């Protein structure tokens, strides 16, 4: 009888030890996922911040350029409308999206704004008086820095998402990840030219060679 009791006790002890080890491993995996998820959300907030910084620069940029005689109004309207469309895409700035369609919509709106800004800066080449405006030069420098920052922060975001998604998919973590609400996060997708920020440098040395605006003698 004592041998049976001792044997049962040993089995229970082994099972208890396995349960404790399993619990520790589960807690470790859970805590790691929490850390990775927070890293994704934190980096998403950084992405939102740099995009907002760009949006904040646009009103002053448009106002500065609009003061030039005969400036193409359609170009200014395109920038203003593109900025407004970005504001219509509502995403939580503190939590990275789990819906790929939402992120794609956000990226598409930001891409339209990038294209509109690029067009604006190309048109500005025809106006030496704008390129000599100190306020415009300051805004141009800030915009260039912001575009570079957007590229950097988006790259970092994709890196932390990749690490997080890999952990969520990896066995045995994938068994319980969904149970605890750890969902895969979408990446920023690559687009033609997306690896390079819009060109915002001007060739001031050739200002005299730039075509004159319409109506200029």
Domain range summary for the chain, segments of one domain joined by +: 2-189
CA-based nearest residue to 78, from 121, 123, 115, 127: 115
CA-based nearest residue to 72, from 129, 122, 138: 122
- If you average pLDDT over residues 34-51, what whole number do you get? 94
Distance between CA atoms of residues 102 and 94, nearest Å: 15
Distance between CA atoms of residues 132 and 169, nearest Å: 55
CA-based nearest residue to 154, from 195, 201, 101: 195
List, in sequence order, the alpha helices (H) in the chain.
2-66, 73-87, 100-124, 128-131, 134-169, 173-177
Third-level CATH fold of 2-189 = de novo design (two linked rop proteins) (1.20.1440)
Predicted pLDDT at 198: 46
Tell me the percentage of the chain whose pLDDT exceeds 70.
Answer: 75
Neighbours of 131 (CB within 10 A): 17
Neighbours of 213 (CB within 10 A): 17
- Comparing 136 with 25, the larger pLDDT belongs to 136
- If you average pLDDT over residues 143-165, what whole number do you get? 95
- If you average pLDDT over residues 22-33, what whole number do you get? 70
Say if residue 41's pLDDT is above 70. yes
Q: What is the pTM of this model?
A: 0.76
Distance between CA atoms of residues 181 and 13, nearest Å: 33
Neighbours of 216 (CB within 10 A): 10
Instruction: Provide the mean pLDDT of the chain.
Output: 81
């Amino acid at each position: 009888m004592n041998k049976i009791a001792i044997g049962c006790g040993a089995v229970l002890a082994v099972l208890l030890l396995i349960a404790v080890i399993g619990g520790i491993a589960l807690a470790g995996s859970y805590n790691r996922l929490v850390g990775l998820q927070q890293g994704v959300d934190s980096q998403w907030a950084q992405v939102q911040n740099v995009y907002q910084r760009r949006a904040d620069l646009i009103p002053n940029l448009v106002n500065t350029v609009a003061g030039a005689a005969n400036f193409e109004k359609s170009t200014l309207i395109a920038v203003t409308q593109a900025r407004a469309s970005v504001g219509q895409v509502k995403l939580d700035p503190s939590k990275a999206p789990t819906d790929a369609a939402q992120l794609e919509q956000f990226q598409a709106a930001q891409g339209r704004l990038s294209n509109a800004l690029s067009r604006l800066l190309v048109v500005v080449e025809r106006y030496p008086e704008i390129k000599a405006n100190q306020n415009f030069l300051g805004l141009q420098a800030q915009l260039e820095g912001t575009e570079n920052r957007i590229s950097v922060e988006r790259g970092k975001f994709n890196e932390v998402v990749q690490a997080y998604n890999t952990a969520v998919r990896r066995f045995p973590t994938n068994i319980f990840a969904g149970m605890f609400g750890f969902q895969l996060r979408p990446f920023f997708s690559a687009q033609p030219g997306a690896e390079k920020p819009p060109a915002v440098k001007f060739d001031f040395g050739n200002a005299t060679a730039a075509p004159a605006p319409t109506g200029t003698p």
